[in-house]
A and B are shown apart, each in its own frame.
Chain A
Amino acid sequence: MKYVLAVLVENKPGVLARVAGLFSRRGFNIESLAVGRTLDRSLSRMTLEVDADEKTLEQVVKQLNKLINVLKISNLTLEPSVNRELVLIKVRADAVNRSEIQQIAETFRAKIVDVSLQSLIIEVTGNEEKIEAITLLLAHYGILEVARTGKIALLRGSKTTKNGGI
């Protein structure tokens, strides 16, 4: 099963290496990882998507907690949350099919952010399902390159992951 964890860490050099190293040496799989500073500049929030069974997840969380620079881990999987990922897709497009692709983009509320004679870059934001769906359609025209941010997530409602709302 895939779990989404929000991990609040100290914003210090080497912290990402500590977290990533922990996953590789203990044989845990990271599906996606997104890192950014919080409003408090001394802290960063990592959003990790982990593919694991329940027992492995428990170890992941416990081992992460042992890292001195990790302050707080919240499991967002089982609570209502908003999950988003931003993806840039460069797709093959010419005069003949450009408008067709534009329609697809509109349907998915994606944006065309670059146009050339042979290609388009489409910016799409959404959950995994949506991104998979549009990718599948665009593959039909030939996808040249993809860049993904990795998933980020917040709990729904006014509830926050404790001291992670900053």
Chain B
Amino acid sequence: MRLTGARMVLEALRLEKADLVFGYPGGAVLPLYDQLYDAQVRHIMSRHEQGAIHAADGYSRASGRPGIVFATSGPGATNLVTGIATAYMDSVPMVIFTGQVATPMIGTDAFQEADITGITLPITKHNYLVKDVHELPRIIKEAFYIATTGRCGPVLIDLPRDIQAAEADFRYPQEVFIPGYNPTYQGHPGQIARAAKLLSRARKPVIYAGGGVVYSGAHGELLELAESTGIPVTTTLMGLSGFPGGHDLALGMLGMHGTYWANMAVNDADLLLAVGARFDDRVTGKVSRFAPGAKIIHIDIDPAEIGKNVRVDIPIVGDVRLVLSELLKKTAKADTAVWLEQITEWRRAAPLHYCQDPEGELCPQYVIEKLYEETGGAALITTEVGQHQMWTAQYYRFNHPRSFASSGGLGTMGYGFPASLGMQAARPTELVFCIAGDGSFQMNIQELATAVGYRLPVKVAIINNQYLGMVRQWQQMFYRSRYSSVELQQGPDFVKVAEAYGALGLRAQKPSEVGPALRRAIETDGPVVIDFRVRPEENVFPMVPPGSAINEMIRGESK
């Protein structure tokens, strides 16, 4: 079958069973968009390429399938960079097609030329510049394979315009042959046996679960392991939906804004089982004093994560789900009763707290708690980045895997709203909330047009404190309240913005208005923006100050 390069892309997408592409057209992808015109695959056009790539990321996190993005050359491609880096840091599978100037023009500083394979070298799992249309089928096959296997990540294919127009025989390979790429899935049985032995002997064990649990679909195995051994589980931000937040053995999040009892437990543990997590600095605090008394077992699919930040006693390279199911066969109930009692005491001593005066200023934490109540914890949630993100992690209890998407590694403001559109597109019948800050939301606010245009009925809950709240908090705590460029008092009026785009805009300023606003949003068919006007100078606690060990938390002010 002789096809043009552009047609090959669409054929390959069909064979990869892709149902949705996010993108934005332009000169260098005209052949590709011409093929889209009567293709079966659905295309969602964003209002900015960054919106498209974050949406594809949200789609992937909600569905487990790779996100697919089209963008044009030059600025189209460079506008993707933040989204590619976000996906790379959080191990999200994506296949990105960018247009490129025609091959004879490459290197001449042609109009809308950018060396996107060079630019994305450090933020893609792999990338390709296609110089021969005959190689295109193999390259697309490899790209999907590399993106979705091992530790997942974004793969970019740069497609010069003449390659999109050139014709060749199309035979999509059944298999890939990549000699330099061989992910390990099965954990080493000897190491697993050693880990099981340590687990059964531990008196103060903690499971520290990360995004790998969610991505490998290991939530069932993790729950079974925790329940059968009686070992409590703390999760990272990325791991939040990997273990039921309301479970007796759930300690909540650990780290810089983790719960007091999770951090104390990790600090005091004699055994730490790290599952699909990477000992990020936001988790460990001062790394030399992290879990000082604990033996560490580390399960991860990426061998480079093991031993990168902390010393590990038992490394197990492999797929988290496969390793946990092997581990389950060998573990028995550990004697953790005394330990769990100790943790309960910590929990009692320093619960998460805030004070909501029924007639007073609205507390941001109260909004999140009400949101949890009104949605029954069943909504799909995205966040932007900042205080509201941490309050969400603390106060919304996630019970289902892939129900939460947030930019964990890169900390990308502007991620949450477009990502929520992708989540909604992946799971159209479910309720999707984006919990946003008034700063972050404005970074991709233009995607309201996408939400309205494609009838993606996402609800945006803006925790509007009229500040870049997290930066303000740090300036208050560590820079003597010298608030430098953090004020956002000038607006905009988010209700009017929503209305201008054709969405419903709501506002809540008093505690009594929160429930009704949320209910109205949930009952509304289309996209809704709710402007929650909250107390401007509320801070996120507990907090591990930078450079401190995680048991050295600032537990917060009482108001």
Task: From known contacts A62-B304, A63-B304, A65-B303, infer whether A17 and B180 are also in contact, taking CB-CB under 8 Å.
Answer: no
B117 adjacent to A14 (CB under 8 Å): yes
Which of chain A's residues 1-33 have a Cβ closer than 8 Å to chain B? 9-10, 13-14, 17-18, 21-22, 25
List the B side residues contacting A71 at CB < 8 Å: 179-180
B181 at the interface (CB under 8 A from A): yes
Chain A: interface size category: 20 to 34
A161 at the interface (CB under 8 A from B): no
List the A side residues contacting B302 at CB < 8 Å: 66
B492 at the interface (CB under 8 A from A): no
List the B side residues contacting A65 at CB < 8 Å: 303-304
Which among A13, A55, A68 is the interface contact of B126 at CB below 8 angstroms? A68
Task: From known contacts A59-B308, A63-B304, infer whether A70 and B118 are also in contact, taking CB-CB under 8 Å.
Answer: no
Give B493 Cβ to nearest chain A Cβ, in Å: 43
Interface string of B111-124 (1 = CB under 8 A from A): 00000011001100
Give A76 Cβ to nearest chain B Cβ, in Å: 20
Interface string of B239-266 (1 = CB under 8 A from A): 0000000000000000000000000000
Q: Which residue of A has the minimal Cβ distance to B123? A: A25
Which of chain A's residues 89-105 have a Cβ closer than 8 Å to chain B? none
Give A93 Cβ to nearest chain B Cβ, in Å: 43
A67 adjacent to B180 (CB under 8 Å): yes
B180 adjacent to A58 (CB under 8 Å): no
B307 at the interface (CB under 8 A from A): yes
Interface string of A115-154 (1 = CB under 8 A from B): 0000000000000000000000000000000000000000
List the A side residues contacting B125 at CB < 8 Å: 68
B146 adjacent to A68 (CB under 8 Å): yes
A77 at the interface (CB under 8 A from B): no
Interface string of A68-88 (1 = CB under 8 A from B): 111100000000000000000
A21 adjacent to B307 (CB under 8 Å): no
Q: Which residue of A has the minimal Cβ distance to B150? A: A66
Q: Which residue of A has the minimal Cβ distance to B182? A: A65
B178 adjacent to A68 (CB under 8 Å): yes
Give A55 Cβ to nearest chain B Cβ, in Å: 7
Which of chain B's residues 88-120 have a Cβ closer than 8 Å to chain A? 117-118
Give A32 Cβ to nearest chain B Cβ, in Å: 22
List the B side residues contacting A69 at CB < 8 Å: 180
List the A side residues contacting B146 at CB < 8 Å: 68
Looking at A55, A59, A62, which has the most chain B CB atoms within 10 Å of its CB? A62
List the B side residues contacting A66 at CB < 8 Å: 302, 304
List the A side residues contacting B179 at CB < 8 Å: 10, 71
Q: How far is the CA of A42 from the CA of B122 in the complex (A)?
A: 24
Q: Which residue of B has the minimal Cβ distance to A26? A: B122
A58 adjacent to B121 (CB under 8 Å): no
B307 adjacent to A58 (CB under 8 Å): yes
Q: How far is the CA of A129 from the CA of B179 in the complex (A)?
A: 38
Task: From known contacts A17-B121, A68-B126, A68-B146, infer whether A55 and B307 are also in contact, taking CB-CB under 8 Å.
Answer: yes
B181 adjacent to A21 (CB under 8 Å): no
Which of chain B's residues 294-352 have a Cβ closer than 8 Å to chain A? 302-304, 307-308
B126 adjacent to A21 (CB under 8 Å): no
Task: From known contacts A55-B307, A63-B304, A65-B304, infer whether A21 and B178 are also in contact, taking CB-CB under 8 Å.
Answer: no
List the B side residues contacting A13 at CB < 8 Å: 129
List the A side residues contacting B122 at CB < 8 Å: 21-22, 25
Which of chain B's residues 157-183 have a Cβ closer than 8 Å to chain A? 178-181
Task: From known contacts A55-B307, A59-B308, infer whether A18 and B180 are also in contact, taking CB-CB under 8 Å.
Answer: no
List the B side residues contacting A58 at CB < 8 Å: 307
Task: From known contacts A25-B122, A58-B307, A62-B304, infer whether A68 and B117 are also in contact, taking CB-CB under 8 Å.
Answer: no
List the A side residues contacting B178 at CB < 8 Å: 68
Task: From known contacts A18-B121, A21-B122, infer whether A68 and B180 are also in contact, taking CB-CB under 8 Å.
Answer: yes
Q: How far is the CA of A18 from the CA of B304 in the complex (A)?
A: 17
Q: Which residue of B has the minimal Cβ distance to A9? A: B180
Give B223 Cβ to nearest chain A Cβ, in Å: 31
List the B side residues contacting A68 at CB < 8 Å: 125-126, 146, 178, 180-181
Q: How far is the CA of A63 from the CA of B122 in the complex (A)?
A: 12
Q: Which residue of A has the minimal Cβ distance to B179? A: A71
List the A side residues contacting B117 at CB < 8 Å: 14
List the B side residues contacting A25 at CB < 8 Å: 122
Give A151 Cβ to nearest chain B Cβ, in Å: 24
Q: Which residue of A has the minimal Cβ distance to B178? A: A68
Q: How far is the CA of A131 from the CA of B180 in the complex (A)?
A: 36
A59 adjacent to B121 (CB under 8 Å): no
Some 26 contacts from A to B, beta carbons below 8 A apart, are A9-B180, A10-B179, A10-B180, A13-B129, A14-B117, A14-B118, A14-B129, A17-B121, A21-B121, A21-B122, A25-B122, A55-B307, A58-B307, A59-B304, A62-B303, A62-B304, A65-B303, A65-B304, A66-B304, A67-B180, A68-B125, A68-B146, A68-B178, A69-B180, A70-B180, A71-B180
What would 6 more interface pairs be, CB under 8 Å, given A68-B178, A68-B180? A9-B180, A14-B117, A22-B122, A59-B307, A59-B308, A71-B180
